[in-house]
Amino acid sequence: MRTQVAIIGAGPAGLMLSHLLARDGIMSIVLESRTRQAIEETIRAGVLEQGTVDLLHELKLADRMEQIGERHGGIEFRFRGRGHRIPMRDLTGGNEVMIYAQHEVIKDLVAARVQQGGEIVFGVSDVQLHDLDTDRPRVSFRRSPEAPTEFIACDFIAGCDGFHGPSRSSIPENVRTEYHKTFPMGWLGILVEAPPSSEELIYCNHDRGFALVSTRSPEVQRMYIQVDAQDDIANWPDERIWSELRSRLATEDGWAPIEGPIIQKSIVGMRSFVCSPMQYGRLFLAGDAAHIVPPTGAKGLNLAVSDARVLAAAIGEFYQDSRTDLLARYSQICLRRVWKAERFSNFMTQLLHRFPEHSAFDREIQLAELDYMTSSVHGLSTIAENYVGLPIEWGT
C-alpha cells in the first residue's frame, strides 16, 4: 500500500488530521488498534475550546455538536461554601466553550471520514514504524492477530496513538527528553441519569477534596470527585459518592446536587507529561502521544486538535510549495502552546485540589489565591483566556 501520510491512531488527533489533510487534497490512511464501536463508546472529557469549535464548523463537522452540545459563557469556582462566577464570554471578547463529549466528536469525525471514502482500518495489531530517518518511511501492521504483515509506504508518519502507542518509543531515547509529573490524587468520575444540577460547570475546592459538576445532556450529568490515586472503585458504593458530592459542594444557601441513578463510574489518575521534540525524521507526534495534562484544565482534546492543525498546515506547505519551513518548526510551534496548557492545567490542579503534603499555611495560601483569582479582574481574565483557549503562535 502507498499513501502520503500514514496516521497511527483514530483519536481526536489522528481523525482531525485526516480531515484537514483531505481538505487540502492530501491522502492518508488511519490505522486504529481498537474497534470502531470501542472508540465511539469510550467515555472521556467533553470541553471544546472556542478554536476547536470554530475548526469543526470550518470543516462542516459541527451539525450534531450544535444540536446536542451546550455553549457555556462562564464557569463557577466554589470554595468556603460560596460560588464565584468567571464570566469568560465577557472577559474574552465573546469566546465560549462547548460542552460536547469527546466520544461524540469521535462519532462525527469517523462518520464523515467514512462517508467521504477516507480509509480508516480498525482493529489492527502489531503496528511498527520503519525507516523514519529516510524520506520513504513505512508502517507495518496486521489486519488481525493472525493476518499477514502488510506495509504502508508513505512520505510522513503521524504518531497519533496516545500515551501508550508505539510511535513515541520509535524515537531513539538519546534524541528525546521526557518531562513527567505524577499527582498524588485521582478523579472518580460518574455519569448520572438526572437533570442538570447547574447551568454552568462548577469547580469546587473543599477541605474534603476537589469536586466538579459537569454535564452531558438534559438527561445525563457528569460529575467528579478527588480521591486517592491508588483508590479502588470497589470502595465507592453510590451512596458514598453522593455523600461526598453533597458535603463538598454544599453552599451557605443550601445548594445540593440533583441525584439520580449512577450509570457509569471509574477512577483515572492525574499526570503531566511532555515529550520534546515531538518529531524525529519523518515521524511527527500529535496529541497524547506527545503530551498529557491532568483533566482540571480541560485541555487534552484541544491540544490534540491544535497539534493536528499545525501538522496539517506544515504538510500542506510541503506538498503545495515544496517548502519544509513549517515542518522544521512543527515541534517548536506545538510545544510553545503545549507548555502553556501544561502550565494552566498544573495551576488549576494546584489551586483546586487538597494535597496530602499541604500544611495549614499552604492551605490558607491556596484559599487566598482562590479569593484573589475570583475577585480581581486580572485574576478572572487570566483564567478566562486560558480556559477558552490560547491561540496557536505560528511565528518564531
Q: Rule CB under 6 A: which residues touch ligand PHB? A: 45-47, 201, 214, 222, 295-296, 298
Q: List binders of ligand APR among 302-361 (CB under 6 A).
A: 304
Separation CA 9–CA 276 (nearest Å): 20
Residue 257 Cβ vs ligand APR, minimum distance, rounded to whole Å:
24
Cβ-proximal residue to ligand PHB, closest one: 214
Among 83, 118, 162, 294, binds ligand APR (CB under 6 A): 162
| Nearest to ligand APR of 69, 300 (CB atom) | 300
- Among ligand APR, ligand PHB, none, residue 31 binds (CB under 5-8 Å by kind): ligand APR
Is position 166 an interface residue for ligand APR (rule: CB under 6 A)?
A: yes
- Among ligand PHB, ligand APR, none, residue 304 binds (CB under 5-8 Å by kind): ligand APR
Q: Are 376 and 83 in contact (CB under 8 A)?
A: no
Residue 370 identity (one-letter amino acid): L
- Among ligand PHB, ligand APR, none, residue 39 binds (CB under 5-8 Å by kind): ligand APR
Q: From the candidates 12, 19, 72, 294, which is the catalytic residue?
A: 72
Q: From the candidates 291, 299, 330, 353, which is the catalytic residue?
A: 299
Which residues on neighbouring strands pair with residue 177, listed in sequence order?
276
Residue 387 Cβ vs ligand PHB, minimum distance, rounded to whole Å:
9
Is position 33 an interface residue for ligand APR (rule: CB under 6 A)?
A: yes
- Among ligand PHB, ligand APR, none, residue 21 binds (CB under 5-8 Å by kind): none
Residue 201 Cβ vs ligand PHB, minimum distance, rounded to whole Å:
6
Q: Is 57 a catalytic residue?
A: no
Residue 66 Cβ vs ligand PHB, minimum distance, rounded to whole Å:
18
Q: Is 295 a catalytic residue?
A: yes
Is position 31 an interface residue for ligand APR (rule: CB under 6 A)?
A: yes
Residue 357 Cβ vs ligand PHB, minimum distance, rounded to whole Å:
23
Contacts within 8 Å (CB) and 24+ apart, 370-379? 370/77, 370/79, 370/84, 370/205, 373/77, 374/77, 374/84, 374/86, 375/84, 377/91
- Among ligand PHB, ligand APR, none, residue 257 binds (CB under 5-8 Å by kind): none
| Nearest to ligand APR of 32, 96 (CB atom) | 32
Q: From the candidates 100, 203, 280, 330, which is the catalytic residue?
A: 203
Residue 87 identity (one-letter amino acid): P
Residue 308 Cβ vs ligand APR, minimum distance, rounded to whole Å:
8
Q: Is 277 a catalytic residue?
A: no
Among 301, 314, 326, 338, binds ligand APR (CB under 6 A): 301
> HEC string of the chain?
CECCEEEECCCHHHHHHHHHHHHCCCCEEEECCCCHHHHHHCCCCCEECHHHHHHHHHCCCCHHHHHHCEEECCEEEEECCEEEEECHHHHCCCCCEEECCHHHHHHHHHHHHHHCCCEEECCCEEEEEECCCCCCCEEEEECCCCCCEEEEECCEEEECCCCCCCCHHHCCHHHCEEEEEEEEEEEEEEEEECCCCCCCCEEEECCCCCEEEEECCCCEEEEEEEEECCCCHHHCCHHHHHHHHHHHHCCCCCCCCCCCCEEEEEEEEEEEEEEECCEECCEEECHHHCEECCHHHCCHHHHHHHHHHHHHHHHHHHHHHCCCHHHHCHHHHHHHHHHHHHHHHHHHHHHHCCCCCCCHHHHHHHHHHHHHHHHCHHHHHHHHHHHHCCCCCCCC
Is position 22 an interface residue for ligand APR (rule: CB under 6 A)?
A: no
Q: Is 387 a catalytic residue?
A: yes
- Among ligand APR, ligand PHB, none, residue 214 binds (CB under 5-8 Å by kind): ligand PHB
Residue 8 Cβ vs ligand APR, minimum distance, rounded to whole Å:
5
Is position 278 an interface residue for ligand APR (rule: CB under 6 A)?
A: no
| Nearest to ligand PHB of 69, 295 (CB atom) | 295
Rg (CA), the chain: 21
Q: Which residues are catalytic?
A: 72, 203, 295, 299, 387
Query: Which stretches of the chain bind ligand APR, using CB under 6 A?
Result: 8-14, 31-34, 39, 44-45, 102, 124, 127, 160-162, 165-166, 287-288, 300-301, 304
